[in-house]
Amino acid sequence: MANEEHTHAHLFVKAQTLLRAADRVLLVMHQNPDGDTLGSATALSLYLDDLRKPHDLFCANASPSNYAFLPNSNRIQTNPSLLVDGSHDVLVSLDSGDLVYAGIHNHLQERTKARHTIINIDHHKTNTHYGDLNIIDAHSSSTAEIVYNYFIHTEHPITTDSATCMLTGIISDTGGFSNLATTSSALNVASELLRFGARIWDIQQHTLKNKSIHALKLWGVVLSRLKRHTSGVVITVLTQNDIISCNASVEHAEGIANFLNTLDDSRAVFLLSELEPGKIKISMRSTQPGVDVSHFARVFGGGGHKKAAGLSIPGSIMVSGNSFHIA
């Protein structure tokens, strides 16, 4: 562990050098952003503000409205022209196992690699190390925990705002300190962030206690379709029609997969979500020893952790009565 910490410290110094020398930085969050990628990016945005470093924030999708409380989240842009306009010499990818998951692979093909440097910061063991500088720690609960360690190793002051951003990321990826990502390190870092003034009440109100009637109706539809396979795998689906009929939105589906992971007699849980036409997102969770859902995800081009992984496939979900299939 001491050698690993030394390696990360060395990488943090390299990242600091690159960011300080950059003319303009682009912070990139993954598609369908969650609290970890958003919290990590906004914390680094505040860091760059402190350095008076020009920068932009990009995400392929609009961030969920419940994360609008995060400082600098109002600066997140979705226009892909940011990726190809040539104004950024350093790109920081946060919480993405590969550039496809980040939603920027096709756009970056339009640029020559010599025109920018990619800093890849992530905690997924399936990360493909696509960066020029890769800061990957599969032992961290979240990317936000890595960002916290960056602040500490570079001796950058942690403010109430940056602490709130990073704690949001940790709470998001630990399921409110309820899943297997809840390590002693995660709890220690969370405690330190509270000491720095993180607004945990705001985080709870916006991320853990924010379910509307429309959202709960949507969850009810998904729960009503739960089916157990003879292998012990439990499967359910969410369609675009469900979202429309419940007068809900895509962001209301956030948290369903983690909630399903509370089932006490399943080997794994698969949630198939049709969040856009012709594309199905498969979220996989497990709490069982010996079950590695990330292995399954990698076979189909996805990634993640042993107990929480995902992938995307082409297709549509067809529902008829109590049955469903992929077309």
CATH of the domain at 239: 3.10.310.30
The reply to whether 27 and 73 lie within a common domain is yes
Mean pLDDT of 25-50: 97
The reply to whether 155 and 219 lie within a common domain is no
> What is the C-alpha separation between 57 and 44, in angstroms, rounded?
10
Other CB atoms within 10 Å distance of the CB of residue 202: 14
The reply to whether 256 and 158 lie within a common domain is no
> What is the C-alpha separation between 295 and 218, in angstroms, rounded?
30
Report the CATH number that the domain containing residue 184 is assigned in CATH. Answer: 3.90.1640.10
The reply to whether 253 and 115 lie within a common domain is no
> What is the C-alpha separation between 141 and 172, in angstroms, rounded?
10
- Scanning 248-325, the segments in alpha helix (DSSP H) are 256-260, 293-299
Query: Is 70 exceeded by the pLDDT of residue 170?
Result: yes
Residue 272: band (very low, low, confident or very high) from pLDDT cuts 50, 70, 90? very high
The reply to whether 71 and 173 lie within a common domain is yes
Closest CA to 302 of 107, 97, 141, 13: 97
- Choosing from 174, 207, 240, the residue where a domain stops is 207
Query: Is 80 exceeded by the pLDDT of residue 1?
Result: no
> In the chain, how many domains are there?
2
The reply to whether 218 and 130 lie within a common domain is no
* Helix-then-strand count for the chain, H and E: 12, 14
Residue 4: band (very low, low, confident or very high) from pLDDT cuts 50, 70, 90? low
Amino acid at residue number 167:
L
Mean pLDDT of 264-280: 90
Query: Is 80 exceeded by the pLDDT of residue 6?
Result: no
The reply to whether 34 and 134 lie within a common domain is yes
Retrieve residue 27's tokens. 């912070």
Which DSSP state fits 156? P
How does the average pLDDT of the chain come out, rounded?
A: 92
pTM of the model: 0.86
- Choosing from 207, 229, 258, the residue where a domain stops is 207
The reply to whether 200 and 224 lie within a common domain is no
The parent domain of residue 309 ranges over 213-326
- Contact status, residue 288 vs residue 297, Cβ threshold 8 Å: no
Mean pLDDT of 287-306: 89
